[in-house]
Amino acid sequence: MLFLKPILFSAVQPSGNLTIGNYIGTMRHWSIMQKKYDCLYCIADLHALTAQEKNMCLSKNTLDTLSFYLACGVDPKKSIIFIQSHVYQHSQLSWILNCFSQFSELLRMTQFKVKRNVEKNHVKQTNLGLFNYPVLMAADILLYQTNFVPVGKDQKQHVELTRNIANRFNSIYGNIFKLPKPLIHQYGSKIMSLLEPQKKMSKSDTNKNNVIFLLDDIKSVSLKIKHAVTDSERPSKIDYNIENKPGISNLLEILSAISNKDMNILLKELDGMMYRELKNIVSDCLSKFLSKLQRSYYDYRNDECYLKKVAHEGAMKARLKSEETLKIIHSTLGLVPYFK
């Protein structure tokens, strides 16, 4: 496969139960991006190993996630879709990059600090994978000489770290790695919880009314939106000054993303409307969208033969491309080439 357009790399962990936050922040853009970029869409199953839960159902979750990729319009003829653990080059480069990463910079990663605190509270030991997580992510990105990485705000720091690692390597060995840039969308890159809009919507939230899952029963979606927090002052109409109203701006971001409407146009259309009416519109729009997505999802999910074929072909293409980079790195570092 020839790469003629700028290269874009993105990945989601197959932790099961994807939410509209995952869709709006990440997967929504994937289909359109195929026009402008040569895209690699990876299922980061090795990253998922850092959160060891009982009954993880990793292989089921991986195929579920792959089905969502396809249902969101990612086309295996246009893009490379693959499972991270099928392409050994990722672990190999990850080790090499460990030797170009600093303990102190990994300690500064916000996601690590947050996750470690959660584990401390559960009196669990922090596994090294959690600490090294961003280095594997850097390997994912750098293996393909990626130009752009679409990420939610919470992953931006990891892309910056990737650039630092690449820069450090390049400053010793010359221009080996391309420096990737994060692509962050103005709206929707962080969807918040419905009842506690100060915190990010998270699939692991214990209160399921905070979260809309992509596979939620359509009836429960309307109920969840109905109960969503708007704002504490309870004015009768939508207040345009949404800066300090996380609940209402969250609903608007969801609506704008799902209806594909620019926020300014949307605000004009909603002028003078009550919060209750806004909620009806959001829940109608979401219900229609989710019914369609779920139909397409199940069509793919029920055809495991096809899913495995897509994953196999994707892995073959990803191996070829990543091997090119890895060969250069090996010879740059003075590792003896392997002869068959």
**Catalytic residue positions?**
120, 200, 203
Q: Of 84 and 210, which CB lies nearer to ligand TRP in the complex structure?
A: 84
Which range of residues in 31-39, 121-129, 147-155, 208-216 is near ligand TRP by CB under 6 A?
Answer: 147-155
Among 66, 87, 97, 137, binds ligand TRP (CB under 6 A): 137
Query: Among residue numbers 12 through 51, which ones bind ligand TRP (CB under 6 A)?
Result: 12-13, 44, 47
Among 8, 11, 165, 238, binds ligand TRP (CB under 6 A): 11
Its sign, for the CA torsion 67, 134, 204, 247, is: negative
> In terms of Cα–Cα distance, which of 181, 93, 168, 103 is closest to 137?
93
Max Cα separation, the chain? 74
Q: CA–CA distance from 253 to each of 16, 225, 245, 249, 282 (Å)? A: 24, 13, 12, 6, 10
Q: Of 248 and 315, which CB lies nearer to ligand TRP in the complex structure?
A: 315
Q: Of 11 and 212, which CB lies nearer to ligand TRP in the complex structure?
A: 11
> In terms of Cα–Cα distance, which of 335, 305, 307, 321 is closest to 87?
321
Q: How far apart are CA 314 and CA 62, in angstroms?
A: 14
Among 8, 10, 76, 193, binds ligand TRP (CB under 6 A): 10
Which range of residues in 137-145, 250-258, 267-275, 327-335 is near ligand TRP by CB under 6 A?
Answer: 137-145
Q: Is 141 annotated as a binding residue?
A: no
Q: Is 200 annotated as a binding residue?
A: yes
Its sign, for the CA torsion 75, 3, 310, 154, is: negative
- List CB contacts of 19: < 8 A, sequence separation 6 or more: 191, 201, 202, 203, 211, 212, 213, 214
DSSP letters spanning 167-214:
HHHHHHH-S-SPPPEEE--SSSSSPBPSS-TTSB--TT-S-GGG--BT
- List CB contacts of 168: < 8 A, sequence separation 6 or more: 100
Q: Residue 7 in 3-state DSSP?
A: strand
Among 40, 80, 142, 149, binds ligand TRP (CB under 6 A): 149
CB of 6 to ligand TRP, least distance (A): 15
Q: Of 29 and 47, which CB lies nearer to ligand TRP in the complex structure?
A: 47
CB of 340 to ligand TRP, least distance (A): 31
How many amino acids of this chain bind ligand TRP (CB under 6 A)?
13
Binding mask 242-261 toward ligand TRP (x if CB under 6 A, else -) reads --------------------
Q: Is 265 annotated as a binding residue?
A: no
Q: Is 137 annotated as a binding residue?
A: no
Q: Is 14 annotated as a binding residue?
A: yes
Characterize the bridge pairing of strands 148-150 and 181-183. Answer: parallel
Place of tokens 């909603």: 270
**Binding residues vs ligand TRP (CB under 6 A):** 9-13, 44, 47, 137, 140-141, 149, 151, 155
Point out the annotated binding site for ATP. Answer: 13-15, 21-22, 152-154, 191, 200-204
Point out the annotated binding site for L-tryptophan. Answer: 140
